Amino acid sequence: MEGGIVSRNNVRTFGKGTQPMLFAHGFGCDQNMWRFITPSFEEDYKIVLFDYVGAGKSDVSQYNPDRYAQLQGYAQDVLDVCQALHLSNVIFVGHSVSSMIGLLAAIESPSIFAHLIMIGPSPCYINDDSYGGGFSKQDIEQLLQTMEQNYIGWANFLAPGIMGKDNDPALGQELSESFCSTDPVIARQFAQATFLSDNRRDLANSPVPSLILQCSDDMIAPLGVGEYLSRHLPDSTFALLTATGHCPHMSAPDETIENIKRYLNANT
């Protein structure tokens, strides 16, 4: 089974250290998106990369629509990888929706994790009377409908904005191509699981310390969302980046690395 998980999730490990740093990609992405970050940590940590089932070079034949209808199914991928590799004391680094996936995994199996590092996290994307998630319910319904009707057009339109309009256009193009390489049916279901999720009640149950990395201008996770997390996530550290867009690990890797290292040096 261990080899099956490694193959299923296209798991790669490298690095000279013993403490694992497990990097979990966001929606529409894969483990390749971490290539600007991992070289700065492989001297001191054991780097673990993987693709969620349905993403990257994972075994798409293992995709189960029922399992992955909720973020908990993706959290199980994380736990499966940790168990297959016998990992403990894990520093989990999650981008976007993977921040909440990591939180769910840590709540499920707290003994595995040491820290959660959340890049562009959001516990809920939809506004309500007391919370500004950045989108109305109608916005999200329209987004999901557009994905269903014209997925390639949706990806090409949205990817540059997600990367950040002032960042390298080649990175926006890479993100668009990553979106387009994902099976549209799987992508839409992951988007639905992501954008309709509400993990605000889970925040108080976080069993490990966390770092929140918030970009200064992010269309997916606005500043107010990061500030909300800072108030409601126990034992959390909040860092506001000068970076813009939703993918600072790609568009501003040096600043991202600096903040992660500062946090780990102060807390480990």
Tell me the C-alpha distance between 97 and 74, whole Å: 10
Given 58, 95, 96, 99, the catalytic residue: 96
Tell me the C-alpha distance between 188 and 182, whole Å: 10
SS3 30: coil
Look at phi and psi of residue 243 and say left if phi exceeds 0, alpha if psi is from -120 to 50, else beta.
beta
Strands (E) across 175-258 are located at 210-217, 236-244
Tell me the C-alpha distance between 216 and 66, whole Å: 36
Cα→Cα distances 113→18, 45, 154, Å: 14, 14, 36
Q: How many residues does the chain have?
A: 268
Given 95, 115, 246, 249, the catalytic residue: 246
Given 202, 210, 218, 251, the catalytic residue: 218
Dihedrals phi, psi of 211, to nearest 5 degrees:
-115, 130
Q: Is 246 a catalytic residue?
A: yes
Token duo for residue 49: 């990369």
Q: Is 128 a catalytic residue?
A: no
Q: CB burial class (10 A; 0-12, 13-18, 19+) of residue 129?
A: exposed
Q: Is 95 a catalytic residue?
A: no
Dihedrals phi, psi of 113, to nearest 5 degrees:
-110, 145
Residues labelled as active-site residues: 96, 218, 246
